[in-house]
């Protein structure tokens, strides 16, 4: 589609001239179908680059709305989006249309769950992970391995970033590396330790590059290692090349535990109180004192022997030692899950 | 936390633990008897049919039903209530009900009101009790088809006077539908002696059976229009639903597995005796109420006299929101209760506890004194801390 436009040649000339892409590569990019999961720091850079480079069909999924604290690094959004409380996916699609009217960007305002992930992933040539939590990444890993669709992991927190390209059957998947998500509530999130825009931009740029290699069909140059970088301490590392583990529960034994939801958190609306309870999908013990320290400065935090209460961004979270949290003032399960992963961590 | 180390005080939602005989009977049924009841003559079909028939008879004898075929199996209490109300009521009919009803009575009535059924809501007192004079007045006001009421509140345990209500209803030409969700298996019920026309109840609460079970009793002379048509195993030559009970109202294969479990539960219950269950629960409630009154900052809703209530106790802990109390009890003490509105917003409005609701403590026959004491200790500790 994009190559039929006479101005397209000009538009993408710097890219087609690059030896790795060429005119045939650009044609494939134009026909490409990419799913971007998450539209925060990583997702906005990704959508921006995908749109500018002429990827023909982009779907972007995010459950959140634009907030002021996003603008520091989320490159597609503006103050007006935050003031109007526009859903991120919608704001991203609108910005994308202004940048390149010849590509299609479909916004999906939703939480990615075991119930919709296969449907979302199935129609994509590849999936870009731009989520903020490990639960969703394990879910994406399951869906992509099951359907044989490549996905590119990316994460940035503080001054650090990581990326991994997963080609089912060819490279290691997420569960080859770590069969279960690391104990959580212990992991740092952007809300608790912050994040530098540069770490976000570098990781997402690496992801975009991997996506373009896949779209043009150059598998030889794919990154087959876990990349790690720290922009503040000038540390850039590349691990050993990773191959699939035959013992991997996911790509080795084809057990899709996260798709079958045996290990994901559950949400219930609590009648009587405009509130949603998020329960972790597994036994977990939270150190409330520790969590209180991590949340210091994020909002108003108070603790009792039984619970921790956080008021932040107009929401009230009550967190208990067994990892459950009651999010008050909403009956929106997706929002509750989002606040949970932001403040408590998955 | 597994079921074993939980202090389970949510028996008003469903009873737990079930007697071990229930699981054994289900295993035995699935292993040796799991044919389709009444659908063929082979041994497995006959065995399954025998289990269903035996359970129907067992329920009948427990509830004073003379003709077991007038007991129709349903999936739960809600299905039995819907069958009764949708099967009976037509546009223009008048229904008198109370402000203590569960949504499984209230919502069908709200929906039926949209279709032209006239629904009169009798306000109950703040302790959940119903003034029979109010009922009498409502029945005098206009010809009434049905009085629909709960036997005991699932929010605060208050027992409503169904015997007297039946008399009043019949005097004014109305039928009585009783929602026995909180009483079947824990209060003596005799539909014949108490002249109850329709009795709806789940099998998974006081009757100690598995979920997926329930039943509706339909008194002789009361005709309900089926809500669904389908296979019955009898009269297959007819293209219309057979008229005879239970088949008229029991289209499709019943939950044989659940019914087998219910059958075993009823054997255990009868061996124990409803009177013994009632006495045990009353003693637990007295212990609980006494302890609660000693905790500063606790308000108990519903009657304090154990003779006027079942083992469903609602409390408010001052300075705490019910949802947080529920989560703290579970998280820090392993105590399972149900906070909130308990599917009964009208009842909570009646008690003055809408919209936050209450914390509901519902012990059961197998709850121990020690568990009640532990719950009291936990609540006392919470009362000393800020919500
Ligand atoms: C008073 C009352 N009525 C009806 C019901 C509904 O019963 P079930 O959950 O079996 O449909 C319940 C229980 O939830 C109840 O407590
Ligand atoms: Zn793997």
Mean pLDDT is lowest, of B29-43, B149-163, B174-188, for B29-43
CATH top-level class for B20-272? alpha beta
Instruction: Check if B382 contacts A (Cβ < 8 Å).
Output: yes
Average pLDDT along chain A: 90
Note residues around ion ligand 2 (Cβ under 5 angstroms).
A 173, 175-176, 248, 250-251
| pLDDT given at position B220 | 97
Question: Which residues of chain A make contact with B324, given a CB cutoff of 8 A?
Answer: 307, 318, 326
Ligand 1, atom 12, residue with closest C-alpha = B181
Q: What spacing in Å lies between the alpha carbon of A133 and ligand 2's midpoint?
A: 19
3.40.640.10, 3.40.50.300, 3.40.720.10, 3.40.50.720: CATH of A8-238: 3.40.50.720
User: For residue A2, is pLDDT > 90?
Assistant: no
Determine the pLDDT at residue A334: 81
pLDDT in tens, B261-312: 999 999 999 999 999 999 999 999 999 999 999 999 999 999 999 999 999 9
Contact B323 A272 (CB under 8 A): yes
At CA B78, angle to CA B342 and CA B140, rounded to 5? 90
Residue-by-residue DSSP string for B255-291: -HHHHHHHHHHHHHHHHH-HHHHHHHHHHHHHHHHHH
Chain A residues with CB under 8 Å of B342 CB are 271
Residues of A in contact with B387 (CB under 8 A): 304
pLDDT of residue B4: 59
Does domain A266-343 sit in CATH 1.10.3470? no
> Token pair 């206009």 is at which residue?
B142
Q: With bands split at pLDDT 50, 70 and 90, how would you rate the model's confidence at B64?
A: very high
The CA-based diameter of chain B, rounded to the nearest angstrom, is 70
Q: In what order do the strands lie in the sheet with B118-122?
A: B71-74, B214-218, B198-202, B175-179, B146-150, B94-98, B118-122
Residue A263 binned pLDDT confidence (cut-offs 50, 70, 90): low
Given a contact cutoff of 8 angstroms between Cβ atoms, the answer to whether A250 and A142 are in contact is yes
pLDDT band at A186 (very low <50, low <70, confident <90, very high): low
Q: Which of these ranges, A266-270, B227-231, B294-298, has the smallest mean pLDDT?
A: A266-270
Confirm or reject contact between B141 and chain A (CB < 8 A).
no
Q: Which residues lie with the beta carbon below 6 Å from any ligand 1 atom?
A: B 76-78, 102, 104, 150, 154, 179, 181-182, 202, 214, 343
The distance of A38 to chain B (nearest Cα, Å) reads 31
* A320 chain-B contacts, CB cut-off 8 A: 327-328, 330-332
- B328 vs A271, A277, A320: nearest CB: A320
pLDDT, tens only, B101-128: 999 999 999 999 999 999 999 999 999 9
CA distance linking residue A109 with residue A105, whole number of Å:
13
Flag whether pLDDT at B16 surpasses 80: yes
- Indicate the residue of B1, B340, B387 with minimum beta-carbon distance to A271: B340
Exposure of B165 by Cβ count < 10 A (0-12 exposed, 13-18 middle, 19+ buried)? buried
Q: What is the pLDDT of residue A213?
A: 98
Tell whether B386 lies on the interface with A, counting CB pairs under 8 A: yes
B330 touches chain A (CB under 8 A): yes
Percent of chain A whose predicted confidence (pLDDT) is above 90: 67
The CA–CA distances, whole Å, from A8 to A45, A54, A251 equal: 22, 9, 40
Kindly list the domain boundaries of chain A, sorted by start residue: 8-238, 266-343
- Give the closest of B322, B385, B387 to A272, CB-based: B322
- Smallest Cβ–Cβ distance between B324 and the set A271, A305, A318 belongs to A318
Q: Which of B5, B155, B327, B387 to mutate to test the interface with A (most CBs of A within 10 A)?
A: B327
Cβ distance of A304 and B323 shorter than 8 Å: no
Token representation of residue B375: 């719950």
Question: A144 alpha carbon to ligand 2 midpoint, in Å?
Answer: 11
pLDDT at position A275 is 87
Instruction: Answer whether A305 sits within 8 Å of B332, measured CB to CB.
Output: yes
Query: CB distance from B346 to chain A under 8 Å?
Result: no
Which residues, in sequence order, are bridge partners of residue B218? B198
Q: What local confidence, expressed as pLDDT, does residue B209 receive?
A: 98
Q: What percent of chain B has pLDDT over 90?
A: 93
The 10s digit of each residue's pLDDT in B304-362 is 999 999 999 999 999 999 999 999 999 999 999 999 999 999 999 999 999 999 999 99
CA-derived radius of gyration, chain B: 21
**What ipTM was reported for this prediction?**
0.79
Specify the ligand 1 atom closest to the Cα of B12: 16
Q: Which of B274, B343, B356, B377 is catalytic?
A: B343
Which pLDDT does position A262 carry in this prediction? Answer: 56
Task: Enter the pTM of the model.
Answer: 0.83
Considering chain A, what percentage of its residues have pLDDT values greater than 70?
A: 93
| Confidence label for B1 from pLDDT (cuts 50, 70 and 90) | very low
The overall average pLDDT reported for chain B is 96
Distance of residue A289 Cα from the nearest chain B Cα, in angstroms: 15
Residue A222 CB: number of other CB atoms within 10 A?
17
Q: Quick one: pLDDT band at residue B18, thresholds 50, 70, 90?
A: very high
Write out the E strands in chain A: 33-37, 57-62, 104-109, 126-129, 151-157, 160-166, 227-230, 235-238, 266-270, 275-279, 300-303, 307-312, 315-320, 325-328
Record: contact A273-B340, CB cut-off 8 A = yes
Report the CATH architecture of B7-18+273-385. Answer: Alpha-Beta Complex (3.90)
Chain A residue numbers with beta carbons less than 8 Å from the beta carbon of B385 are 304-306
Which ligand ends up closest to the CA of A145?
A: 2
Residue B325 with chain A: CB contacts under 8 Å: none
Residue B156 annotated to the active site: no
Calculate how close chain B gets to A286, using CA atoms only, in Å: 11
* Least Cα separation, residue A86 to chain B (angstroms): 30
Mean pLDDT, residues B209-227 taken together: 97
Ligand 1 atom with least separation from CA of B202 = 10
Q: Is B340 in contact with A304 (Cβ distance < 8 A)?
A: no
Half-sphere exposure of B386 (CA within 13 A, CB side): 6
Tens digit of each residue's pLDDT (9 = 90 or more) over A69-78: 899 889 899 9
Number of A–B residue contacts, CB under 8 Å: 60
Annotated domain spans of chain B: 7-18+273-385, 20-272
> Cα(A152) to centroid of ligand 2, in Å?
14
Q: What is the pLDDT of residues A154-177, one digit of tens each?
A: 999 999 999 999 999 999 999 999
Residue A267 scores a pLDDT above 60: yes
Distance between CA B237 and CA B234 in Å, rounded? 8
Per the model's pLDDT, the better-predicted residue between B149 and A185 turns out to be: B149
- Whether the upstream peptide bond of residue B17 has omega within 30° of 0, thus cis, is yes
Cβ neighbours of residue A83 closer than 8 Å, sequence gap 6 or more: none
* Dihedral angle sign, alpha carbons of residues A280, A281, A285, A291: negative
Question: Is B327–A318 a contact, with Cβ atoms under 8 angstroms apart?
Answer: yes
Strands B298-301 vs B313-317: parallel, antiparallel or unpaired: antiparallel
Q: Best substitution site from B150, B179, B201, B202 to test ligand 1's pocket, by max atoms within 8 Å of Cβ? A: B202
Contacts with A307 from chain B: Cβ below 8 Å: 324, 327-328, 331
Burial class (CB in 10 A: 0-12, 13-18, 19+), A220: exposed
Q: Which residue's structure tokens are 């650009």? A: A26
Using pLDDT thresholds of 50, 70 and 90, give the confidence band for residue B2. Answer: very low
Distance A284 CA to ligand 1 centre (A): 32
Contact B107, B133 (CB under 8 A): no
**pLDDT, mean of residues A27-47:** 97
Closest Cα of chain B to A169: distance in Å? 38
């Amino acid at each position: 589609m994009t190559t039929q436009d006479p101005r397209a040649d000009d538009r993408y000339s710097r890219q087609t001239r690059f030896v790795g892409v060429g005119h045939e590569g650009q044609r494939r990019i134009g026909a490409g179908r990419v799913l971007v999961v998450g539209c925060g720091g990583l997702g906005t850079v990704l959508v921006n680059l995908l749109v500018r480079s002429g990827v023909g069909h982009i779907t972007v999924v995010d459950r959140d709305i634009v907030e002021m604290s996003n603008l520091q690094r989320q490159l597609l959004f503006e103050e007006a989006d935050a003031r109007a409380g526009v859903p991120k996916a919608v704001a991203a699609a609108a910005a994308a249309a202004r940048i390149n009217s010849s590509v299609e960007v479909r916004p999906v305002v939703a939480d990615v769950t075991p119930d919709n992930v296969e449907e979302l992933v199935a129609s994509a040539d590849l999936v870009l992970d731009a989520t903020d939590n490990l639960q969703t990444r394990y879910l994406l890993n399951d869906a992509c391995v099951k359907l044989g669709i490549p996905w590119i992991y990316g994460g940035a927190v503080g001054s650090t970033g990581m990326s991994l390209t997963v080609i089912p059957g060819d490279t290691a998947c997420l569960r080859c590396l770590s069969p279960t998500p690391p104990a959580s509530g212990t992991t740092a999130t952007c809300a608790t330790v912050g994040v530098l825009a540069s770490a976000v931009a570098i990781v997402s740029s690496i992801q975009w590059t991997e996506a373009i290699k896949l779209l043009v069909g150059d598998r030889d140059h794919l990154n087959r290692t876990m990349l790690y970088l720290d922009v503040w301490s000038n540390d850039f590392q590349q691990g050993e090349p990773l191959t699939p583990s035959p013992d991997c529960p996911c790509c080795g034994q084809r057990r899709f535990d996260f798709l079958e939801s045996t290990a994901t958190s559950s949400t219930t609306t609590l009648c009587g109180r405009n509130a949603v309870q998020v329960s972790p999908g597994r036994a977990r013990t939270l150190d409330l004192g520790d969590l209180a320290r991590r949340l210091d400065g994020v909002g108003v935090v108070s603790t009792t022997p039984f619970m921790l209460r956080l008021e932040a961004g107009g929401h009230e979270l009550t967190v208990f030692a067994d990892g459950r949290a009651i999010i008050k003032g909403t009956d929106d399960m997706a929002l509750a899950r989002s606040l949970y992963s932001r403040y408590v961590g998955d | 936390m597994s079921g074993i180390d939980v202090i389970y005080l949510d028996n008003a939602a469903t009873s737990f633990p079930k007697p071990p005989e229930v699981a054994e009977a289900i295993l035995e049924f699935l292993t040796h008897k799991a044919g389709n009841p009444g659908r063929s003559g082979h041994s497995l079909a006959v065995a399954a049919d025998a289990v269903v028939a035996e359970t129907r008879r067992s329920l009948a004898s427990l509830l004073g039903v003379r003709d077991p075929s007038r007991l129709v199996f349903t999936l739960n209490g809600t299905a039995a209530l819907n069958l009764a109300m949708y099967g009976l009521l037509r546009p223009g009919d008048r229904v008198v009900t109370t402000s203590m009803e569960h949504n499984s009575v209230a919502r069908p009535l709200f929906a039926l009101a949209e279709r032209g059924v006239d629904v009169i809501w009798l306000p109950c007192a703040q302790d959940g009790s119903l003034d029979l004079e109010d009922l009498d007045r409502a029945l005098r006001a206009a010809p009434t088809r049905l009085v629909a009421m709960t036997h005991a509140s699932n929010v605060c345990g208050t027992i409503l006077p169904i015997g007297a209500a039946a008399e009043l209803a019949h005097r004014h030409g109305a039928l009585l539908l009783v929602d026995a969700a909180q009483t079947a298996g824990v209060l003596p019920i005799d539909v014949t002696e108490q002249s109850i026309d329709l009795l709806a109840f789940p099998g998974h609460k006081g009757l100690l059976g598995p979920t997926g079970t329930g039943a509706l009793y339909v008194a002789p002379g009361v005709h309900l229009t089926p809500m669904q048509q389908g296979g019955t195993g009898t009269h297959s030559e007819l293209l219309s639903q057979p008229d005879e009970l239970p088949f008229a109202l029991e289209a499709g294969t019943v939950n044989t597995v659940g019914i087998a479990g219910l059958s075993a539960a009823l054997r255990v219950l009868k061996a124990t005796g409803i009177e013994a269950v009632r006495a045990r629960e009353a003693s637990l409630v007295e212990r609980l109420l006494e302890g609660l009154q000693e905790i500063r900052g606790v308000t108990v809703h519903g009657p304090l006299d154990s003779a006027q209530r079942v083992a469903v106790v609602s409390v408010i802990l001052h300075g705490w929101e019910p949802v947080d109390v529920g989560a703290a009890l579970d998280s820090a003490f392993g105590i399972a209760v149900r906070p909130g509105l308990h599917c009964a917003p009208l009842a909570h409005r009646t008690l003055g506890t809408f919209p936050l609701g209450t914390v509901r403590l519902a012990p059961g026959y197998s709850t121990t004194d020690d568990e009640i004491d532990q719950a009291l200790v936990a609540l006392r500790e919470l009362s000393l801390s800020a919500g």
